[in-house]
Amino acid sequence: MTRPCRWASAAGIVLLVAVALARPSWADDEPLPNRPGPSAIPTPAGAQVAVATPGGAGPPSAGSLGGGSQCWSVPLDAEGVALADTVQGRPAGDGFWSMQFCDGRSVGWQWNAGGAPMIPASVLGQRAAADLAVPGCEIGTSPRADYLIVRFETWLWVTCAWAQVSATAGVPGLSATATASPRGVVWAMGDGSTVACDNPGTPWNPELSAEQQRPSCSYTYRTSSAGQPGNKFVVTATVRWAVSWSASDGEGGTLPGVSRSSSLPVQVGEVQAVITR
Say if 57 falls within a structural domain.
yes
Are residues 200 and 91 part of one domain? no
CA atoms of 134 and 108, how far apart (whole Å): 41
Question: What's the pLDDT tens digit per position in 230-244?
Answer: 999 999 999 999 999
Query: CB atoms < 10 A from the CB of 27, how many?
Result: 14
pLDDT of residue 75: 67
Say if 29 falls within a structural domain.
no
| Last residue in a domain, options 72, 104, 119 | 119
Residue 173 CB-density burial (10 A; 0-12 exposed, 13-18 middle, 19+ buried): exposed
Sign of CA dihedral 209, 215, 219, 220: positive
Say if 199 falls within a structural domain.
yes
Are residues 196 and 68 part of one domain? no
Exposure string for 59-70, b = 16+ CB within 10 A, e = fewer: bbbbeebeeebe
Are residues 140 and 254 part of one domain? yes
Type of residue found at 233: F
Are residues 208 and 106 part of one domain? no
Q: Which residues pair with 176 in a beta bridge?
A: 169, 247
Contact 48, 118 (CB under 8 A): yes
Say if 74 falls within a structural domain.
yes
Contact 99, 110 (CB under 8 A): yes
In the chain, the number of structural domains is 2
Are residues 96 and 198 part of one domain? no
Are residues 169 and 115 part of one domain? no
pLDDT mean across residues, the chain: 75
Are residues 103 and 150 part of one domain? no
Question: What's the pLDDT tens digit per position in 187-222?
Answer: 999 999 999 999 999 999 999 998 999 999 999 999
Are residues 93 and 162 part of one domain? no
User: What are the C-alpha distances in Å from 16 to residues 75, 167, 267?
Assistant: 15, 23, 50
Say if 31 falls within a structural domain.
no
pLDDT of residue 195: 97
Are residues 217 and 178 part of one domain? yes
CA atoms of 20 and 118, how far apart (whole Å): 15
Nearest to 258 by CA among 195, 196, 179: 179
| Last residue in a domain, options 119, 141, 161 | 119
Helical H segments across 63-108, by residue range: 78-87
Phi/psi for 211 (5° steps) reads -70, -20
The CATH number covering residue 250 comes to 2.60.40.10
Quick check: pTM over 0.85?
A: no
Say if 276 falls within a structural domain.
no
CA atoms of 155 and 214, how far apart (whole Å): 9
Are residues 85 and 214 part of one domain? no
Phi/psi for 64 (5° steps) reads -75, -10
Q: Which domain, by its residues, includes 69? A: 2-23+38-119
Say if 274 falls within a structural domain.
no
Are residues 56 and 181 part of one domain? no
Helices 78-87 and 2-19: crossing angle, nearest 10°? 130
Say if 189 falls within a structural domain.
yes
In the chain, pLDDT over 90 holds for what percent of residues?
47
| Last residue in a domain, options 104, 119, 134 | 119
Are residues 253 and 183 part of one domain? yes
pLDDT of residue 146: 93
